[in-house]
Structure 1
Amino acid sequence: MNRILLYIHYNKSDELSGHVLYQLEQIRPLFSRVIFISNSHLDQNHIEKLKMIGIFEIIQRENIGFDFAAWRDGMTYVGFDHLEKYDSVTLMNDTCIGPLWSLEPYFRSFESAIDCDFWGMTNFKKTKYFREHVQSYFVSYSQAVVLSKVFQKFWTSIKNFENVRQVIDNYETKLTSKLKKSGFNYKVVFNTLNEQSEGMVHPDFSYYKPFKILEHRVPVLKVKAIQAHPLQADQLKNKIREVTEFPIDILNSVYSSIEFFPVENEQTETYTLLKKVRNKIKRVIGRKG
């Protein structure tokens, strides 16, 4: 398959983390071309490391507009007349560790599926605040999607929003529905639409349920999903070591370099959830009364 990857690097320093280099080294053979988009200046030594694993096209840009503006700039660099020639265009960022298992079988499975025009790792079911959507940290689009007017119009219209909620509301949650409305179908490794999510502030399994991610063999795991659960950090680390193919030395390096979120964050989220449940009960009782 003739594939292209647009990969975003977010590290604020001028260095590449070991898990990022490992990730790129593992997935590079899957793609005919990789565009590395860095939202920070890269040290020349790390540019050479990228070249050593076969990545020669590097865009260094100002960290503005979040993921979608960076991918827009990557597409502008390549040009839609060239993007259209690839069998698929994959968008990914460096916010995850992995691959936990080889990505090749996932590509082979989804690309051979008749009813799959684009695919990702996890989806987010519709709520009061968000539309159903494929989560943007990894999505692969078929040539048919890339050729479509709706896809190209979407990406050429991306603005440099300064608020991440604007990006989520206007871009991440809307692209999936725009493509579905145009007749395209999607699949994900872990379909969460029918999963129970009562114990979560938002039905974001990629963040709140890292053990579920492993259970469903999602081949990448968000670093924030590790950071957000300090009380389960060791248990999660042991599970990753037990069930995945991820190198222990890289995993240890990730754990030693990240800052865990305060335990109070988990308690605050639990309180917020309980408050929502109490308010809902009050409304129900009020209507019955």
Structure 2
Amino acid sequence: MAANNRRMSGKKGAQVGSGGQRRRGLEGKGPTPPAEMRKGHKKNRVATSKAKQTARRPAPKGRGGKSTSELVVGRNPVVEALREGVPANTLYVQQFIDNDERVREALQLVGERGGIHLMEAPRPELDRMTNGLNHQGLVLQIPPYEYAHPDDLAAAAYDAGEDPLIVALDGVTDPRNLGAVVRSVSAFGGHGVVVPERRAAGMTAGAWKTSAGTAARTPVARATNLTRTLEAYKKAGIVVVGLAADGDGEIAELAALEGPVVIVVGSEGKGLSRLVGETCDFRVRIPMPGGAESLNAGVAAGVVLYEAARRRA
């Protein structure tokens, strides 16, 4: 019996009470993480140092035609932004993060897209970057959006031998509405969108997502003063059409859609502001036999752009 006991307690073969540890040991630990996330690797040390410097650096202030950098915070928002192709320059990953499928997908998407830096950072640094938001160990940095100049939109249309078809937004503050308008402009052959510099939605991650990638080919311009920008368009021979519930006529009756035109869409609640409304050459309404009082900016712009594209075809 002593010999048998010695044989059973040897290093080879299964042992009593192992609980399947040897079997689990054969399952592997998954794919090798990127060098930036492997503790002790040179790239990990460099990435950690850069993350600390970035976290301590104050966010840039918007100036001229550039917005500020934006942070997308949390595992689900980060993964959704990467899926939708939202431009990004850096993904920050918390050190010793619990590796679930969302973290793995985020790392995989970054690897597939390329051009996005991957940096590992201690939790206190990410807390500082996000002002204490629940980042769940993932923070995606969106670079500043490069806005076009309003004059560029008309110039690009004329260079292509086409009459400008532009949408201007007055008092629209929801980035998802902006993204929807950008998507409609792209779908119906428009040449861009103009937004005011203040008290208006900008090209955030939310706007990029709603645009479904069309923001990459449809320019958004930012106007210091929307009224003056519309007046400049009028001097250049472009008709300015405002959408208003109390408009003088219906959109289907407007022949101006066949030529160079700027369509101005106000907010769902307040509509066009007084000065912008007075600047418009025409104020027209969208007929709604169903009885709805108003449409949001994205839907309203889509209806008018379809009518314009139909006439131009």
- Quick check: TM above 0.5? no
- TM-score bracket, normalised by the shorter chain, equals under 0.3
TM-score, normalized by length of structure 2? Answer: 0.26
Larger-Rg structure? 2
| TM-score normalised by structure 1 residue count | 0.28
- Relative contact order higher in (CA < 8 Å, ≥ 6 apart): 1
